[in-house]
Amino acid sequence: MSTPEETKKLMDNYLKELERAVDASVKVGLPSDKVGSEVYGDGVTIMQIGAQHEYGTEKMPSRSFLRMPFDLKRDEINNFIGLQFKTVLEDKRSANDAMELVGVKATNISKAAFRNNGYGQWAPLAEITKEIKQEAGKTTPLVWSGILRNSITWSIE
């Protein structure tokens, strides 16, 4: 059992970590400072391609790889955040390290959407797209070269 002094020290450390965390946020996606401004071979940025898929276009339905997975997995993410900050409370991890792990978890949730057809939520491919992908030996929606999926990352601001 902890002494009152040990408990006070633990709570003081936790408060300091929370004060650091309150001014920070974890951002997941295609941050322009990391990858969003990189360009495909045809001159289109990764961020532009990501936005077209995330929101859809007049010729293509939305296949959200950010908003939808995070909405779908909201409870899992919130529970993970709680567990990470429990380790901060126990003085086993800094708030920054906890937020980094949250960034990794959220990035993995987003990338998983590419492996399971948007958690089964994405619109089916158009017939012409299916034919083009089959001729190239590809079957997964949104994956041709893997550049978009592999560009998803996180940052702490």
Q: pLDDT tens across 23-39, in order? A: 889 999 997 777 766 77
Q: Kind of pairing, strands 153-156 and 26-29? A: antiparallel
Predicted confidence at residue 17, as pLDDT, reads: 82
Return d(Cα 157, Cα 88) in angstroms, integer. Answer: 19
Segment 76-135, tens digit of pLDDT: 999 999 999 999 888 889 999 999 999 999 999 999 998 888 999 988 888 888 888 788
Q: How confident is the model at residue 139 (pLDDT cuts 50, 70, 90)?
A: confident
Predicted confidence at residue 36, as pLDDT, reads: 61
| Total structural domains within the chain | 1
Over residues 126-149, the mean pLDDT reads: 79
Closest by CA position to 103, among listed 148, 53, 152: 152
Strand partners for 45: 39
Give residue for tokens 């034919």: 131
Q: How confident is the model at residue 69 (pLDDT cuts 50, 70, 90)?
A: very high
CA angle at residue 28 from 133 to 17, to 5 degrees?
Answer: 160
Can you give the residue range of the structural domain that contains 78?
A: 4-156
Predicted confidence at residue 70, as pLDDT, reads: 96
Q: What is the mean pLDDT of the chain?
A: 88
Predicted confidence at residue 141, as pLDDT, reads: 67
Both tokens of residue 82? Answer: 């709680």
Contact 152, 31 (CB under 8 A): no
The H or E element that residue 101 is part of is helix 95-115
Least confident of 3-7, 72-76, 101-105: 3-7
Cα torsion angle, 128, 129, 130, 132, sign: positive
pTM of the model: 0.84
Q: In which region does residue 25 sit, left (phi positive, over 0), alpha (psi from -120 to 50) or beta (all else)?
A: beta
Return d(Cα 62, Cα 146) in angstroms, integer. Answer: 18
Q: What distances in angstroms separate CA 93 from CA 47, 102, 112, 124, one per listed residue?
A: 33, 13, 27, 43
